[in-house]
């Protein structure tokens, strides 16, 4: 389509919710230091009154979060992605496919552990991208896509597990979003910084159509594709992929267009919508 030798694929088994696909296990390399989410002040650097803090991208799982750069015929863009296997990255469908033009983006690069500049593994080329048929059909809340990388960098960085949301977790679990919001930090317009919420946030409920989770983690433009994750048995598991929000809260630029002042509702596509398709991609 754009002359670049990259394969495009459409995921057709979107809404199949198999009971056999409720978990995909996380992996942490033994030599990586792990972020401590109980006493986690050493993992992050607080900036002002911001609801997010700079991630320490030398620590897992921040090593497995990366910056995605891509282009269309006119501009360049950035999103967030998270490794879910040695060479598969989970992100948003709108970071892969432009609904307005009905075209795929091009010239993808993924930089795991990017912090103001590419991480120690550099920028990794992408050989194949995936997007759901539902997203192509304008179902904006089924907003997920995948990148298949040229290199298996996840063996070095580790990767996130994926689980379907357990009902009890709405009350009991701590949740986080890590990514590259362009409104984070004093030089956010020119420096790309990975940040994570400074305090655990909440997932309050599913949306009416049960295709997304409502969360209050602080985000911004560029957080698209960020993992919404929690810890289970000491490992990080993604329960959704953040795609947008609406709010009257001026601290959250991803939520600044709300008709409900003071209410922050960020949205993440639920993992049960993409977990089976993700496993099939990883198994290829």
Please name which of 234, 130, 135, 238 lies closest in space to residue 179, comparing C-alpha atoms: 238
Q: For residues 34 and 41, which has the higher predicted lDDT (pLDDT)?
A: 34
* pLDDT 10s digits, 222-261: 889 999 999 999 999 999 999 986 544 444 444 444 444 5
Give the whole-number percent of the chain exceeding pLDDT 70: 77
Q: Rounded distance, CA 167 to CA 73, Å?
A: 44
d(CA 73, CA 91): 21
Hey, what CATH topology would domain 37-61+160-272 get?
Thrombin, subunit H (2.40.10)
Which CATH code of 2.40.10.10, 3.40.640.10, 3.40.50.970, 1.10.10.10 fits the domain covering 62-159+276-283?
2.40.10.10
The domains of the chain are located at 37-61+160-272, 62-159+276-283
258-271, pLDDT tens digit by residue?
444 555 678 999 99
Is the model more confident about 48 or about 97?
97
- Res 187: pLDDT: 53
Confidence of residue 283 (pLDDT cuts 50, 70, 90): very high
> What's the distance, CA 159 to chain centroid?
12
pTM for this entry: 0.85
C-alpha to C-alpha distance for 91 and 78, rounded to whole angstroms: 11
Instruction: Give the chain's mean pLDDT.
Output: 82
37-61+160-272 and 62-159+276-283 share one fold? yes
């Amino acid at each position: 389509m754009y002359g670049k030798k990259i394969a495009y694929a459409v995921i057709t088994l979107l809404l199949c919710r198999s009971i056999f696909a409720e978990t995909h296990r996380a992996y942490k390399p033994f030599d990586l230091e792990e972020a401590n989410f109980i006493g986690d002040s050493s993992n992050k650097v607080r900036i002002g009154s911001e609801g997010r803090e700079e991630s320490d991208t030398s620590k897992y799982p921040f090593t497995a979060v990366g910056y995605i750069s891509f282009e269309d015929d006119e501009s360049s863009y950035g999103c967030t992605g998270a490794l879910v296997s040695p060479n598969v990255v989970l992100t948003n469908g709108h970071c892969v496919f432009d609904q307005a033009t009905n075209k795929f983006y091009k010239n993808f690069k993924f930089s795991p552990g990017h912090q103001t500049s590419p991480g120690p593994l550099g920028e990794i080329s992408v050989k194949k991208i995936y997007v759901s048929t539902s997203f192509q059909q304008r179902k904006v809340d089924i907003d997920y896509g995948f990148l298949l990388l040229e290199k298996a960098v996840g063996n070095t960085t580790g990767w996130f597990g994926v689980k379907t949301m357990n009902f009890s977790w709405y009350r009991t679990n701590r949740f986080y979003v890590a990514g590259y919001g362009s409104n984070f930090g004093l030089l956010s317009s020119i420096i790309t910084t990975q940040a994570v919420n400074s305090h655990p946030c909440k997932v309050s409920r599913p949306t009416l159509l049960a295709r997304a989770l409502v969360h209050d983690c602080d985000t911004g433009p560029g957080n698209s594709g960020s993992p919404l994750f929690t810890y289970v048995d000491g490992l990080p598991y993604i329960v959704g992929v953040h795609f947008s929000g609406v709010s009257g809260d001026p601290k959250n630029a991803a939520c600044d267009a709300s008709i409900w002042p003071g209410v922050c509702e960020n949205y993440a596509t639920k993992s049960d919508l993409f977990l089976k398709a993700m496993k099939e991609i990883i198994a290829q």
